[in-house]
Structure 1
């Protein structure tokens, strides 16, 4: 009889976990917001780096894209770190 009780408890726990998972299932709008947030966390530092680099390059004599390229790469790295920490939590 002890095995029968433990089996019954195990089945009840699994059933309650399944019901809880069904109730807390992410909705389409929730998933869309999550993906959109990830996109913004990646894109905003890249665009900011491009604008800042372009402004710094316009201050220099002649044609240069050195700052723009460098700050775009820095923006990609910062954006990737942002996404990593957002997903990690």
Structure 2
């Protein structure tokens, strides 16, 4: 049986999870703040025994989308992720 899916609010309350995700995005981001999700996932895998399924999400991209602190887009069918606060600071 898989764990129940955590809500976006529950995920945002998980400081350890958010720090892990933010740090991985920061590590992988380019000058414009966007990071390839594959690089982010590799970084997370090197940092901790992490599995998005433990939070009720079958894929890392689904977990990022649920948190709503990150922007998502696809280029040539490759998912990219960016931390929204970083994006707002870049625009300002």
Same fold per TM (> 0.5)?
A: no
Task: Using CA pairs under 8 Å that are at least 6 residues apart, name the structure with larger relative contact order, 1 or 2.
Answer: 2
> Larger strand proportion, structure 1 or 2?
2
TM superposition score normalised by structure 1: 0.28
> Larger helix proportion, structure 1 or 2?
1
